[in-house]
Homo-oligomer: A and B are copies of this chain.
């Protein structure tokens, strides 16, 4: 009974047109051009490396895309249990007509050629979007992105601010900010003006969110003006060598400023909480970051109280933080649950975390899922994974345990999958 019910609910959820509220798509090259763009995704390179592939074999200079795929295929057998592997297989089946259930030394070359052929079609990206039922995808734009050359109603700009908050001590970052805004960073007020210019630029180009990823020890606080000035002065003077207190104060000051601009420009502020960067320094590209699960949303108490008018869609990296996220979202009107991020984006954690949210957070305050993808082909299998789990939760915990009608359960699923994306970020 439950299995058929899950299947019916999945089918209904699968018919929904989606907007993907967080990706790393390059709007100027949104789809893959060969399987190397797909299998070069950090999930595969880092898992293959973890399973024994030397980093140099993947990151060799000038490595031919086909050769790269061939090398990765050697390690796919070791990863075939992972859910990341199942994304790859499902994607190949759906988009490239792949018939097998594993990519091996015997079948990869024909798959590679078939994929390359399809990807050469001029409308490949649009086909992928259509087949994935994606109306729009959010981008993750550097603060100095010109945001030009693409349709911003389909590829929606989002102001990513990690560099501003955590790396302004780097001369390169300051130079980028000055170039992007035409403002010289002499003092606190010019810094504020420069950041304001970024918001104007992004809003002018249809940005729907400001976003940032945060380390577990970050604790936002309002910094008094004199401290902020001293911090900025110190950092401008000493660069990356400036002292820890100045760096911390400047990070807090900039973060707070972003929240203030989010009020002014009515932008939601996506917080992605909990990542430690560069833990495994010898890891492959984008496969070096990990986390410390000892983090609490109590660190954000002052922020949530100070900015009642800013919506904070929040992602947490560790599943053990999910209950806090559920509870803070159930109490604070401006805190929302947002997707299942990175190391928590695997079925066991998604199921536990999503069920807890669906039971205790107002249905209007949950953004169910985003793909976090770098290439469009990944939305389909990733959303499919989520929709299967959502169907399971709705079947078991709502239709069976709470006697909900199926239609009502599907409505709830539709709201977290799509409705709330429109409600929070603006109608599409």
Contacts and interface: CB of A to CB of B under 8 A. Distances in A.
B397 A50 contact: no
Contacts of A287: 331
Nearest to A415: B81
A283 B363 contact: no
B363 A343 contact: no
Interface in A182-209: none
B333 A364 contact: no
A364 B329 contact: no
A319 B318 CA distance: 13
A290 B363 contact: no
B348 A355 contact: yes
Contact of A327 (B3, B291, B364): B291
Contacts of A319: 323
Interface stretch (A59-67, A138-146, A243-251, A294-302): A294-302
A41 interface: no
This chain: copies in complex: 3
Given A3-B1, A46-B330, A324-B318, A290 B280 contact: no
B343 A349 contact: no
A160 interface: no
A226 to B, nearest CB: 26
Interface string A315-353: 000111101101111111100000000011011110010
A293 B320 CA distance: 9
Contacts of A344: 323
A149 interface: no
A304 B81 CA distance: 24
A282 interface: yes
Contacts of A292: 296, 298, 324
A28 interface: no
B298 A291 contact: yes
Given A323-B343, A343-B326, A397-B347, A81 B290 contact: no
A321 B293 contact: yes
A134 interface: no
Interface stretch (A82-90, A113-121, A171-179): A82-90
Given A348-B356, A355-B348, A402-B86, A279 B301 contact: yes
Nearest to A298: B292
A52 B333 contact: yes
A186 to B, nearest CB: 38
Nearest to A354: B348
Contacts of A101: 403-404
A397 B86 CA distance: 12
Given A3-B1, A83-B359, A327 B343 contact: yes
Contacts of A414: none
Contacts of A294: 294, 296
17 contacts: A46-B331, A47-B330, A50-B361, A79-B363, A80-B363, A82-B359, A276-B298, A279-B298, A282-B305, A292-B298, A294-B294, A294-B296, A326-B343, A330-B343, A343-B360, A346-B356, A388-B401
Nearest 3 CB-CB pairings of A with B = A51-B362, A292-B298, A292-B296
Interface of A: 1, 3, 46-47, 49-52, 78-84, 86, 101, 276, 279-283, 287-288, 290-294, 296-298, 301, 304-305, 308, 318-321, 323-324, 326-333, 343-344, 346-349, 352, 355-356, 358-365, 388, 397-398, 400-404, 412
